[in-house]
A and B are shown apart, each in its own frame.
Chain A
């Protein structure tokens, strides 16, 4: 059971938009920034979004993040087949004094 809750899977057609939610609580998302990671099977996770909405260099603006209260959302627009991957949210939990991740969401581009 993960501290952060994500839907197990989402799907959409190429060119469309998809949103992935991440739900937490006061000591984690409610008190800290949220990061998002993309993991293609067999490879290491890659940082997509940090500080709720910022993109590292090289990440296209099709990927955007937002946070409201104790929830966060990753939006992906203009879906491409190459976006098929697992997506994880993460943050710090001040009650646990530890990092926490969501259970992951598998994105299928139909």
Chain B
């Protein structure tokens, strides 16, 4: 059974960089037609796509966050990571990592981590 687990600081100061890692177990991070994504959810609000990465390193980002976001992958460690620069209180959210099935078309996020709350505060 595929499992994803987010890890990283739960508190980040304004203007600093938020960094999270997602560890994948029970399956391959290099499987064909699967991307690995980050989605966030501010308290009491809906889901927001942050970005996604293929094992080759190909990435897609939310245009509204693109200038501040970097997603990277380390296939040897079966991990992918999120870096969000210059954070503000508006970046406070639960951050989820998830597997995205993308063959000829996007078929959604089928496996999710449990999520990790990141609070931006001084």
Interface residues of chain A, those whose CB is within 8 Å of chain B, are: 2, 32-33, 35, 37, 43-47, 50-51, 56, 88, 90-92, 96-104
**Contact status A50-B108, CB under 8 Å:** yes
Count of interface residues, chain B, beta-carbon cutoff 8 Å: 26
**4 closest cross-chain pairs (CB), A and B:** A35-B108, A99-B49, A92-B106, A44-B112
**Contact status B105-A45, CB under 8 Å:** no
- Complex: how many Å from CA A37 to CA B114? 15
**Contact status A102-B63, CB under 8 Å:** no
Nearest-Cβ distance from residue B89 to partner chain A, whole angstroms: 20
Tell me if B's interface is mostly helix, strand, loop or mixed. Answer: strand
| A99-B52, A101-B47, A103-B46 given; A45·B63 CB < 8 A | no
**Contact status B107-A2, CB under 8 Å:** no
Interface residues of chain B, those whose CB is within 8 Å of chain A, are: 37, 39, 46-49, 51-52, 60-63, 96, 100-102, 105-110, 112-115
Beyond A44-B114, A90-B47, A99-B39, 12 additional pairs, beta carbon < 8 A? A32-B106, A35-B106, A35-B109, A37-B109, A44-B112, A47-B109, A51-B105, A90-B108, A91-B106, A97-B60, A98-B60, A98-B62
In the complex, chain A residues whose CB is within 8 Å of the CB of B61: 98
Nearest chain A residue, comparing its CB with the CB of B49: A99
Nearest chain A residue, comparing its CB with the CB of B94: A44
In the complex, chain A residues whose CB is within 8 Å of the CB of B115: 44
In the complex, chain B residues whose CB is within 8 Å of the CB of A47: 108-110
- Complex: how many Å from CA A15 to CA B115? 32
In the complex, chain B residues whose CB is within 8 Å of the CB of A46: 112
**Contact status B110-A92, CB under 8 Å:** no
In the complex, chain B residues whose CB is within 8 Å of the CB of A98: 49, 51, 60-63
| A44-B114, A97-B60, A98-B62 given; A33·B100 CB < 8 A | no
Nearest-Cβ distance from residue B31 to partner chain A, whole angstroms: 16
Q: Quick one: which of A50, A100, A103 contacts B107, CB cutoff 8 A?
A: A50
Nearest chain A residue, comparing its CB with the CB of B47: A101
- Complex: how many Å from CA A20 to CA B49? 21
